Chains A and B, each alone.
Chain A
Amino acid sequence: MTYLTNLSPELSREVVIVNELGLHARSAAKIAGLAQNSKAAVWVKKDAEKADASSIVDILTLACEKGSKITLMIEDKADRPILEDIVNLIETGFGE
């Protein structure tokens, strides 16, 4: 967990999965859709595992059920609007 604390808060955000069925193919597809427009890599981190946010399959392999706490990370400040959009999407339960 050490490197997480070194991260600038601007580059990472913690969110809790609120939608009923967790991060599913369809919700993961929405995240990946946003992440695919980023300049640098966007990561989804759960416990000790990290997934590429632009890959539906990679997000799915994290098995994020409802209530899971995840951390979103970007590598380039220019991707902050994308980070915000993803956080928003997750916090509103993907509009479900």
Chain B
Amino acid sequence: MMDTAAEEIIIKGISASPGVCIGKAYLVDREGVEVVEKYRIADKKRSNEIKRFKAAVKKARDELRKIVEKSPAELQHAHILETHIALLKDKMLYGSTIEVIKNEGVNAEWALKKIVSNLREIFQTMTDPYLRERSGDVVQVADSIMRNLVGAERVNIAAIDKRVILVAHDLSPAETSQINLERVMGFITDRGGKASHTGIIARSLEIPAVVGLKSATSSIRSDDLIIVDGRSGNVIIHPAEDTLVQYEERKTHFEEYKAVITRESRVPAESVDGVRLEVMGNIELPEEVFALINYGGDGIGLYRTEFQYFNRPDFPSEDELFDKYKDVVEVMDPRPVTIRTLDINGDKALANPVGSDEKNPALGLRAIRYCLKKPDIFKAQLRAILRAAAFGNVRILFPMISTYFEICEANRILDEAAQSLEKEGLPYKRDIEIGAMIEVPSAVIMADVIAEKVDFFSIGTNDLIQYSLAIDRGNEQVSHLYQPLDPAIIRMLKHVADVAKEKEIKIFMCGEMAGTPHHIPLLLGLGMEELSMNPQTIPDIKRVIRSLNVADARSFLQDVLKQRTARNTFELIKATYGSILAEQTYSD
């Protein structure tokens, strides 16, 4: 290894989990299955080539069978794999590849690649996002055959015996969860996005990860020195001396910061004048619970339940849901777990659940509207929640409430669910707190009436801001108007907080606004009792709360309410609380 002259290269991906790691690369799929050679097969040898292809398919099937047998706990995963097994022998994949070998006299790899790229093209033109993504299944199945054809054995991640950074084309959630933290400092992949299951597991393992790099496996070789910056999403190959020094510092800085945070994370978030706030975490997967506890979360303020409904063609059964909820509830007990009922919307995979193409999914049939229209699906979830409630501290949160009628209906169906459990003699708990998400302007205006039907409000700022200012955050033309500090938003928050106080119900916030340090003085002034955020931000927010005085924050709010623009409000925060912002220890 004398190529010290190798030039420093930076490749940019998507940040999946923060932190910095520096070390030797370890390629998981040594021979990329992407580069495929083409060569002719003589007439006489074609039947042998077909045999070679069939043998590769058989091996791929045996591998999948083994994984299915080993993963009895992962029901969901297992049935995806069963479908993959059926796909291996599919005419369009298996039969067509054999046809191409026979008729065109090309090698098996090339024939398979040709078939897959044709299929991929067909899938790319589909309009339904969920169906379009099914091409991923076909590609993964083809990849497993290809690996066996070219003899590129998958490295067994669990067996790695030195400190390395994993470099892979793609890591499945199952592979990611096999990572041995003693050995693996971090990982990077060509494929994947921030919201992928793999990214979520990386965050819960608390190791740096960058995904979606596209060219990582083609530009990095095993044993190359690389730097992974999980926050910016940059990966540096062959770093120069001064880059190394710079990142060593950044790494030390991050680790010190984390050490301080961990030490302090269990200290309650009590303001200087003795007001205690609960700082909670938003989670999506049961696996995130441990990270949340490590970060000092006082409970779960938002448990998103959509995940169990994704990546599968059918709806999860009540028992499946109950098992997942119970796991979380038991681990968290006595800390509260706020389970938000199904919030299917246009962003997510179960798009257009009614089949009709909705032009405006954000304004369409989603969340509570969908559930009220599908009482069977709704009731199965409510029964699962009520049953899990017998094992700890559970609250229910109904999303997207926009009318009084909806909250009444939701409560009525909840009662029905409880009665049916009673009749069947199953253990459950009905006496739990019920909350309404306040994220639609009509709910803000009707808050006083809605309050009569619930024990708490939880303000979902992301949607509330979008719906109030009539902007689509994803639309670059207007996304600059997405301003949590817009005076219209602050007045709405004030109104909801006042109603909650008057009606003597609790008031929480679970949108992104709650996890942003410079918004905290405002939220204290408004009298929020609980803030819920990404688990990683909990320690920082707790620290900010401990440095503030609620009485001051209340009079500060009066000044804020006089502002006419978001910009002025931001300037006012900076002028008054600039020191808090400056103290944010780790930012690039």
Residue positions of A touching B, CB distance < 8 A: 17, 19-22, 24-27, 29, 32-33, 52, 54-58, 60-61, 63, 65-68, 94, 96
Question: A55 to B353, Cβ gap below 8 A?
Answer: no
Minimal Cβ-Cβ distance residue in A for B353: A20
Which B residues from 307 to 359 make CB contacts under 8 A with A?
312-315, 350, 352-356
Question: B86 to A24, Cβ gap below 8 A?
Answer: no
User: Knowing A20-B350, A61-B123, A66-B355 touch, does A25 contact B91 (C-beta < 8 A)?
Assistant: no
Question: A21 to B350, Cβ gap below 8 A?
Answer: yes
Question: B354 to A66, Cβ gap below 8 A?
Answer: yes
User: Knowing A26-B314, A56-B86, A56-B87 touch, does A21 contact B130 (C-beta < 8 A)?
Assistant: yes
Alpha-carbon separation in the docked complex, A65 to B132 (Å): 11
Question: B131 to A57, Cβ gap below 8 A?
Answer: no
Indicate whether B92 reaches chain A with its CB closer than 8 angstroms: yes
Indicate whether B90 reaches chain A with its CB closer than 8 angstroms: yes
Partner of A65, one of B123, B137, B314, B352: B352
Alpha-carbon separation in the docked complex, A32 to B83 (Å): 11
User: Knowing A56-B86, A57-B138, A66-B355 touch, does A24 contact B91 (C-beta < 8 A)?
Assistant: no
Partner of A19, one of B91, B92, B132, B314: B314
Shortest beta-carbon contacts, A-B, top 6: A67-B355, A66-B355, A96-B314, A57-B92, A24-B313, A55-B91
Indicate whether B119 reaches chain A with its CB closer than 8 angstroms: yes
Please name all residues of chain A whose beta carbon is closer than 8 Å to the beta carbon of B354 when the two chains form the complex. 66-67
Q: Interface code B117-131, partner A: CB below 8 Å = 1, 0 otherwise?
A: 001001100111011
User: Knowing A21-B130, A21-B313 touch, does A26 contact B79 (C-beta < 8 A)?
Assistant: yes
How many chain B residues touch A (Cβ–Cβ < 8 Å)? 31
Please name all residues of chain B whose beta carbon is closer than 8 Å to the beta carbon of A66 when the two chains form the complex. 352-355
User: Knowing A26-B313, A63-B126 touch, does A54 contact B83 (C-beta < 8 A)?
Assistant: no
Please name all residues of chain A whose beta carbon is closer than 8 Å to the beta carbon of B152 when the two chains form the complex. none
Which B residues from 266 to 316 make CB contacts under 8 A with A?
312-315
Partner of B86, one of A22, A32, A68: A32
Provide 26 A-B residue pairs closer than 8 Å at the C-beta atoms, listed in order of the A residue: A19-B314, A20-B315, A21-B130, A21-B313, A22-B131, A22-B355, A24-B313, A25-B87, A29-B86, A32-B90, A54-B91, A55-B95, A56-B92, A57-B90, A58-B92, A60-B123, A60-B134, A60-B138, A61-B119, A63-B126, A63-B128, A63-B131, A65-B128, A66-B354, A67-B354, A96-B315
Please name all residues of chain A whose beta carbon is closer than 8 Å to the beta carbon of B350 when the two chains form the complex. 20-21
Please name all residues of chain A whose beta carbon is closer than 8 Å to the beta carbon of B128 when the two chains form the complex. 22, 63, 65
Partner of B119, one of A57, A68, A96: A57
Alpha-carbon separation in the docked complex, A24 to B136 (Å): 12
Alpha-carbon separation in the docked complex, A29 to B85 (Å): 10
Please name all residues of chain B whose beta carbon is closer than 8 Å to the beta carbon of A52 when the two chains form the complex. 91-92
Which of A52, A57, A61 counts the most chain B CB atoms within 10 A? A57
Please name all residues of chain B whose beta carbon is closer than 8 Å to the beta carbon of A27 when the two chains form the complex. 313
Alpha-carbon separation in the docked complex, A65 to B350 (Å): 11
User: Knowing A19-B314, A52-B91, A55-B90 touch, does A60 contact B131 (C-beta < 8 A)?
Assistant: yes
Nearest-Cβ distance from residue A33 to partner chain B, whole angstroms: 7
Residue positions of B touching A, CB distance < 8 A: 79, 83, 86-87, 90-93, 95, 119, 122-123, 126-128, 130-132, 134, 137-138, 312-315, 350, 352-356
Please name all residues of chain B whose beta carbon is closer than 8 Å to the beta carbon of A54 when the two chains form the complex. 91
Please name all residues of chain A whose beta carbon is closer than 8 Å to the beta carbon of B134 when the two chains form the complex. 24-25, 60
Please name all residues of chain B whose beta carbon is closer than 8 Å to the beta carbon of A20 when the two chains form the complex. 314-315, 350, 353
Alpha-carbon separation in the docked complex, A29 to B126 (Å): 19
Alpha-carbon separation in the docked complex, A63 to B134 (Å): 10
Please name all residues of chain A whose beta carbon is closer than 8 Å to the beta carbon of B87 when the two chains form the complex. 25, 29, 56-57
Alpha-carbon separation in the docked complex, A96 to B356 (Å): 20
Nearest-Cβ distance from residue A16 to partner chain B, whole angstroms: 9
Please name all residues of chain A whose beta carbon is closer than 8 Å to the beta carbon of B86 when the two chains form the complex. 29, 32-33, 56
Minimal Cβ-Cβ distance residue in B for A24: B313
Please name all residues of chain A whose beta carbon is closer than 8 Å to the beta carbon of B356 when the two chains form the complex. 67
Which of B87, B90, B122, B137 counts the most chain A CB atoms within 10 A? B90
Nearest-Cβ distance from residue A36 to partner chain B, whole angstroms: 9
Nearest-Cβ distance from residue A19 to partner chain B, whole angstroms: 7
Nearest-Cβ distance from residue A49 to partner chain B, whole angstroms: 10
Question: A25 to B119, Cβ gap below 8 A?
Answer: no
Alpha-carbon separation in the docked complex, A27 to B130 (Å): 14
Alpha-carbon separation in the docked complex, A66 to B87 (Å): 22
Alpha-carbon separation in the docked complex, A21 to B315 (Å): 9
Please name all residues of chain B whose beta carbon is closer than 8 Å to the beta carbon of A61 when the two chains form the complex. 92, 119, 122-123
Which of A19, A20, A55, A94 counts the most chain B CB atoms within 10 A? A20
Minimal Cβ-Cβ distance residue in A for B125: A63
Question: A57 to B93, Cβ gap below 8 A?
Answer: yes
Minimal Cβ-Cβ distance residue in B for A52: B91
Nearest-Cβ distance from residue B139 to partner chain A, whole angstroms: 11
Which of B119, B130, B314, B354 counts the most chain A CB atoms within 10 A? B314
Please name all residues of chain A whose beta carbon is closer than 8 Å to the beta carbon of B90 when the two chains form the complex. 32, 55-57
Nearest-Cβ distance from residue B111 to partner chain A, whole angstroms: 15
Alpha-carbon separation in the docked complex, A9 to B314 (Å): 31
Nearest-Cβ distance from residue A48 to partner chain B, whole angstroms: 15
Please name all residues of chain A whose beta carbon is closer than 8 Å to the beta carbon of B314 when the two chains form the complex. 19-21, 26, 94, 96
Having A56-B87, A58-B92, A65-B128, one finds 5 other A-B pairs with CB under 8 Å, namely A22-B355, A56-B92, A63-B132, A68-B355, A94-B314
